[in-house]
């Protein structure tokens, strides 16, 4: 078992895992602070605003954060560093332009419906939408560092500095405000934390970039980067919808308090799969390089090790949430214990997600983005249909069933495609297979 955590890949994965643990810890503490200061209703408004803004951000990114990882690793592997400046500048210009128009469209939609939205929720939405472009730019910087395989550098501003800043700001704002911490004030604190993280990661990039700065935008790179990134955009877009559709649809059928309780249950359940997220940050560039070299034996070993690490950490979390979830939820307040059924259902889906390994990421990094996008699109349609069918009848429990079913479905399809087109088993069972 100890050999599982040896080698550069495993050590880097463990380093990223450490950042994820720190982020999860700060996120857990922040959630406790927020719900204690705002209550379930205020936290529900905050969650709704952040979820909606997250969907708009992914649309504005248009998959460019994943596109830059794959293309940077290829160019660096081939020694074509001269092509990096126009590639990077083209990505930034596309994201900024698209986020600008998405932001205007979102602002117009909010303005038209302002009379139907409560004042507190309306203000929270205005603030969340206004910071959308900064979140998108930060995601691009993370992709740049991942392309250089400097994964730890890429993630610590986002997973350590940003959540720590948010925790401190939320705590301070809650005590200096006469009315306590409102949802708009919490969203504003989150926006400041994003700005702090963005300043740090941009300064790190200036010190680390492997080329001289160029302000000349290549028309060829600006135009050529739209179409290849579209499958990444579709994949990220439907993935974000999959992650947030439950909260958004709950907003039409249940109270803000119920949304807040469900959101806490959902956040706790995602801790089961955060080890897989850590592995993804390391696996992505590795998969791209090994696939380019045609080294399928090493590729099987890498994804198998990632699945093992994710599963070893996910299983104890799953057991704890299923059998002791009631006490975990009461840390946020006694009223949050009502989310125990949703937590158990979502935990099953997250465990399956961890056991399935990096199947979806492998499809994206090996030229099979369309297959991954089709799979996720199908599961999203299923998720929307189930949410639409179950939420009006069962409320938050229906949302949990819908989200859990979608997670299981998409991972089954991912694993099928990876085995069919790459002849690789991305799950923990892949360790039983011989190398190519």
Other beta carbons within 10 angstroms of residue 115's beta carbon come to: 7
Give the least confident one: 58-67, 154-163, 208-217. 208-217
- Please say if the pLDDT value at position 436 is more than 60: no
| Domain ranges, ordered by start, for the chain | 2-432
Other beta carbons within 10 angstroms of residue 327's beta carbon come to: 11
Give the least confident one: 112-116, 382-386, 387-391. 112-116
More confident residue, 43 or 433: 43
Structure-derived torsion over alpha carbons of residues 379, 380, 385, 388, reported in degrees to the nearest 10 = 140
In the prediction, which pLDDT does 89 show? 81
In the prediction, which pLDDT does 248 show? 79
Task: Compute the Cα dihedral for 146, 149, 151, 155 and give only its sign.
Answer: negative
Give the mean model confidence (pLDDT) for residues 65-89: 77
Mean pLDDT of the residues in the chain: 80
Listed in sequence order, the residues at least 6 apart from 165 whose beta carbon sits closer than 8 Å to its beta carbon are 192, 193, 196, 197
Give the least confident one: 205-219, 223-237, 384-398. 223-237
In the prediction, which pLDDT does 402 show? 93
- Please say if the pLDDT value at position 332 is more than 60: yes
Give the mean model confidence (pLDDT) for residues 17-26: 71
| DSSP character at residue 87 | H
Give the least confident one: 25-39, 108-122, 179-193. 25-39
**pLDDT tens digits for 144-171?**
888 877 777 777 788 888 988 998 898 8
Give the mean model confidence (pLDDT) for residues 70-84: 76
Q: What angle do CA 378, 311, 144 make, to 5 degrees?
A: 70
Q: Extract the tokens encoding 19.
A: 């950042």
Most confident range, picked from 16-20, 79-83, 278-282, 373-377: 373-377
The answer to whether the CB of 194 falls within 8 A of the CB of 138 is yes
In the prediction, which pLDDT does 40 show? 86
How far is Cα 277 from Cα 280, in angstroms, rounded to an integer?
A: 5
How far is Cα 14 from Cα 9, in angstroms, rounded to an integer?
A: 9
Across 365-375, b (16+ Cβ under 10 Å) vs e yields: bbebbebbbbb
**pLDDT tens digits for 338-385?**
999 999 999 999 888 888 877 877 887 777 777 877 787 788 889 889
- Please say if the pLDDT value at position 434 is more than 50: no
In the prediction, which pLDDT does 47 show? 85
In the prediction, which pLDDT does 356 show? 82
Q: Which of the four pLDDT bands, split at 50, 70 and 90, describes residue 198?
A: very high
Q: Extract the tokens encoding 197.
A: 């993280």
Give the mean model confidence (pLDDT) for residues 72-96: 79
> How large a percentage of the chain has pLDDT more than 70?
83
Give the mean model confidence (pLDDT) for residues 256-260: 86
């Amino acid at each position: 078992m100890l050999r599982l955590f040896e080698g550069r890949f495993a050590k880097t994965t463990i380093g990223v895992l450490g950042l994820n643990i720190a982020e999860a810890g700060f996120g857990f503490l922040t959630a406790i602070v927020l719900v204690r200061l705002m209550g379930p209703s205020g936290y529900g408004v905050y969650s709704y605003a952040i979820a909606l803004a997250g969907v708009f951000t992914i649309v504005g990114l248009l998959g460019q954060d994943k596109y830059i990882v794959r293309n940077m690793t290829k160019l660096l592997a081939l020694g074509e560093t001269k092509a990096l400046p126009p590639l990077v500048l083209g990505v930034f210009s596309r994201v900024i332009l698209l986020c600008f128009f998405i932001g205007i469209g979102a602002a117009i939609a909010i303005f038209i419906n302002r009379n139907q939205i409560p004042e507190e929720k309306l203000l929270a939405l205005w603030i969340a939408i206004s910071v959308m472009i900064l979140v998108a730019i930060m995601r691009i910087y993370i992709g740049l560092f991942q392309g250089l395989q400097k994964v730890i550098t890429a993630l610590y501003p986002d997973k350590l500095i940003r959540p720590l800043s948010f925790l401190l700001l939320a705590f301070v704002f809650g005590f200096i405000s006469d009315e306590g911490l409102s949802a708009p004030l919490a969203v504003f604190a989150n926006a400041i934390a994003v700005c702090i993280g963005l300043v740090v990661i941009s300064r790190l990039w200036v010190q680390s970039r492997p080329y001289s700065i160029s302000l000349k935008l290549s028309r060829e790179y600006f135009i050529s980067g739209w179409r290849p990134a579209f499958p990444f955009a579709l994949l990220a877009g439907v993935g974000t919808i999959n992650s947030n559709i439950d909260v958004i649809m709950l907003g039409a059928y249940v109270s803000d308090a119920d949304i807040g309780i469900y959101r806490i249950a959902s956040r706790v359940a995602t801790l089961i799969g955060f080890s897989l997220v850590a592995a993804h940050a390391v696996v992505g560039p590795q998969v791209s390089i090994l696939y380019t070299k045609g080294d399928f034996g090493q590729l099987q070993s890498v994804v198998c090790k990632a699945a093992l690490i994710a599963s070893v950490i996910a299983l104890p979390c799953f057991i704890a949430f299923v059998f002791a979830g009631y006490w975990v939820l009461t840390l946020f307040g006694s009223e949050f214990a009502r989310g125990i059924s949703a937590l158990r259902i979502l935990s099953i889906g997250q465990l399956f997600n961890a056991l399935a390994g990096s199947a979806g990421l492998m499809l994206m990094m090996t030229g099979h983005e369309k297959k991954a996008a089709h799979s996720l699109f199908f599961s999203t349609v299923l998720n929307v249909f189930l949410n639409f069918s179950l939420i009006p009848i069962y409320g938050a429990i229906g949302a949990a069933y819908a989200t859990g079913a979608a997670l299981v479905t998409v991972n089954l399809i991912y694993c099928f495609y990876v085995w069919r087109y790459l002849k690789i088993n991305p799950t923990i069972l892949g360790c039983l297979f011989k190398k190519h």
